[in-house]
Copies of this chain bind each other. A is one copy, B any other.
Amino acid sequence: MTDTDKNTRHQLRMARKKAIIDASIARAYQEKGLLLVLTGNGKGKSSSAFGMVGRALGHGMKVGVCQFLKSRTDTGEEAFFGKQARCEWHVLGDGFTWETQNRAKDIATSERGWAVAQRMLTDASYDLVVLDELTYLLNYGYLDADQVLDAIGARPLMQHVVVTGRAASDTLRDLADTVSDIADVKHAYRDGIKAQPGIDL
């Protein structure tokens, strides 16, 4: 095939692709707050949520972040996003559950955290609410899943919510507009590489 043929074929293929994409953009007219669920065992769930925090702040939106499991407050994400004017950042965890080994305490911590999230989910001034690692609290039964899903479903119309964490339930997936399942194809951790500032924390 000559270079000219190659270029012509490329142009035809791209013209077909453009027609398909333009048609689907024309259908995509709705505007409403989305519920996004980022789940699976792979790296990238929380960092993806934080990337959307950055995007939202770039559009002048107001953002609320609830970190439900983490207790450390020396992470890069908090240091950076927590100081932004339109971003409210809450570290609500008390260590991972395998650190505390105390179910009653974990439940009390979860309920205190959920009260913060509930306040955001009933306040239309928050354009984006991130519920980081919420799935664990639901899956361990620390929070009432029905109550949580009802509160997310009843939030202000234009408010976006991002939920992260492994093993999102079917009911949460059903409620969501977008669900990404992040598979752990390969993780540096398994090769003996420790969690890295800027990447994992």
**Chain B residue with Cβ nearest A46:** B51
B160–A59 touching, CB < 8 Å: no
B28–A192 touching, CB < 8 Å: yes
Most B-side CB within 10 Å, residue of A25, A99, A188:
A188
Q: Of B14, B28, B31, which contacts A97 at CB under 8 A?
A: B14
User: What's the minimum C-beta distance from A179 to chain B, rounded to whole angstroms?
Assistant: 4
Taking CB atoms and an 8 Å cut-off, the chain A residues in 163-201 that contact chain B are 173, 176-189, 191-201
B180–A43 touching, CB < 8 Å: yes
Identical copies of this chain, number: 2
User: What's the minimum C-beta distance from A144 to chain B, rounded to whole angstroms?
Assistant: 16
Which one, A73-81, A109-117, A146-154, is touching chain B? A73-81
A128 interface residue (CB < 8 Å to B)? yes
Q: Of B57, B61, B77, which contacts A58 at CB under 8 A?
A: B77
B196–A160 touching, CB < 8 Å: yes
CB-CB < 8 A to A76: which residues of B? 54-59
- In the complex where A44-B44, A98-B18, A183-B180 touch, is A28 in contact with B160 (Cβ < 8 A)? no
Q: Of B50, B181, B182, B186, which contacts A51 at CB under 8 A?
A: B50
Bound Cα distance A179, B195 (Å): 15
A6 interface residue (CB < 8 Å to B)? yes
Residue numbers of A with Cβ under 8 A of B are 6-7, 10-11, 14-15, 17-18, 21, 24-25, 27-32, 34, 36, 38, 40, 42-59, 61, 75-81, 97-104, 127-128, 160, 173, 176-189, 191-201
